[in-house]
Chain A
């Protein structure tokens, strides 16, 4: 989802620079190697996971001495991969975030069909469905295999919950009651970070994803959709989610407007709030701020019926293979190597992620125990915002909504942006 995309650019630039140096030296060291080795170009998008993939690659190279995997990690992967595609230099193997951007690329048939891969049958079907529903080549292929999943749940501090005798909320009313209890006891219920627009998203994707009707996007992303003619729309179906979002953000601490994502991670790590509206992807950053941080999680109760609760999960890392790769055999071997349970477990343990296999067993990170059951049952939905065209500044609109609190204006603007996008899409199709 957008969260990974928008993680501070500075951080990426730094890791990118470090990696460039590291790569430079390793390449120089590899240079005199014999020509016979097959060179696999491996595009790796995740700057936080450079070390993990490096370790996996060296293990693979040790097992396959005739294959040389060249890792290519870049500061701005979404732009970089498009540039590579424009130049016709599709990498042999790729990791990408399984978001709308990936789906756009998959739909333009630049990635190979992986549905016949042995590992494809081991993937949890609900997860594969979330990824494929965003878009694939000809709408029928499987262009990406989920390698690691994230979960958008509410993180909480179990010590603070125990101290104030608050049970884990299972319904919306219990969640509000818990927030009120903390507020009455002088504890910040949530730590909100409105300076970084995207930090509103994790909450909104749960509310909107669960409260807005199925088939919402099929309707509003249709060509020539307008709020007047469409069956669905934000003003028609989006009011409850928007109002609930506003209600939760009404509990923000003073100064939330100028607090950023890293401030939030540090504050929650230091026990400054009872809950934190972030997903599993924030856990490594919180632990980086305080290794002893007390973190647990529970799925978002968006209604008063616990049976309706779902877990928003996205494919944080998806594996793909270039359609026209010169070394399909070697690339497939590398993907199968990465898709082994041991490799995925090692990775997800280090990155606080979830193994998206049907036989994955329990989640390694204790902080994610709270979402174990619902993930196991497969009550999963994808990220709402992955369906939003990237040309719409959706996160900025949510941030604006949280700052001015004008529900009607937000819903109207969302409808308007989709109508404009639909008008542009229809010119795409009707030449």
Chain B
């Protein structure tokens, strides 16, 4: 019995691997086509136009690298990068600390655990624009009343119309909305930690804090990495919450890069120039994400 098996074995395997491969191709090719048509081609078109003075319509000419040169001389662009980094870094830190904390609470053996998990997920279901408009109303009308009642000067006018504080309002609303998603990922991570580790640790007399720093956090560090990368990448592209809350104001103090690209490119008739901005920004985001992955992954615990 073993002889024919040996004889036919490799041939069968070869045949099978070929069929499997073909199936994979059938699955991958349509997705790849869609990706190329809907993503790569537009991206390349955009990169192409960044070397022109295209207004979005009408005639255009090549201008070489002039758009890129002007970009680095434009203080409005530079200050939008400054604001976006400040916003994204702050929001990433706030969201991850908040989400980790809430995830730990929701993972503990509390009553109505599932109900609480559902409630904490609600902000993520709501649209950012709706959340933004609601908070715009609250921050402009209700919070100043609280500030006046307590006699706090800086809180008695809307913080969204204060050039120095408006960004904090945006960070707050963004965090409120996006913590929910990070919580889900952290919860998934917490469920992968074996309960025996905690049992052994408590027998050894480890405090809760020690358990967190020595067991929980190292065990979920992969989830921490992905959350940090996703959060930073998402916040660097901030747009809708700013539209709903401040519209980039007061003045131009809360204009994010995405907003400048939209305004200048689609409303201001400087499509080519803002495409150059987009290309630079794409590179910035890719580089930042790679750096972040590398540094955080090095710190991840490896138990395999």
Contact = CB atoms under 8 A, between A and B. Distances in A.
Contacts of B269: 104, 389-391
A416 B76 CA distance: 10
A194 interface: yes
B134 to A, nearest CB: 12
A428 B63 contact: yes
Contacts of B247: 197
Nearest to A9: B243
A391 B268 contact: yes
Interface stretch (A144-152, A168-176, A310-318, A394-402): A394-402
B116 to A, nearest CB: 33
A86 interface: yes
A26 interface: no
* Contact-size category for B: 35 or more
A390 B268 contact: yes
Contact of A258 (B67, B76, B161): B161
Interface stretch (A56-64, A204-212, A372-380, A417-425): A417-425
- Interface SS of chain A: helix, strand, loop or mixed? helix
Contacts of A82: 56-57, 266
Nearest to A108: B58
Interface string A247-276: 000000001011000000000000000000
B57 A417 contact: no
B226 to A, nearest CB: 35
Interface string B68-110: 0010011110000000000000000000000000000000000
Given A257-B161, A389-B268, A393-B76, A197 B58 contact: no
B140 A195 contact: yes
A403 B56 contact: no
B247 to A, nearest CB: 8
Contact of A427 (B53, B162, B263): B53
A257 B57 contact: no
Nearest to B75: A416
B62 interface: yes
Contacts of B67: 424, 427
Given A391-B269, A396-B252, A195 B57 contact: no
Contacts of A104: 55, 269
B249 interface: yes
B264 interface: yes
Contact of A396 (B248, B264, B273): B248
Contacts of A66: none
A258 B140 contact: yes
B191 to A, nearest CB: 42
Contacts of B181: none
27 contacts: A79-B266, A108-B58, A194-B161, A197-B251, A257-B250, A258-B141, A258-B157, A258-B158, A258-B161, A390-B269, A393-B248, A393-B255, A396-B251, A396-B255, A400-B250, A403-B163, A404-B163, A417-B76, A424-B53, A424-B70, A424-B270, A427-B53, A427-B66, A427-B70, A428-B53, A431-B61, A431-B63
Interface of B: 53, 55-59, 61-63, 66-67, 70, 73-76, 133, 140-141, 144, 157-158, 160-163, 247-253, 255, 263-264, 266-270, 273
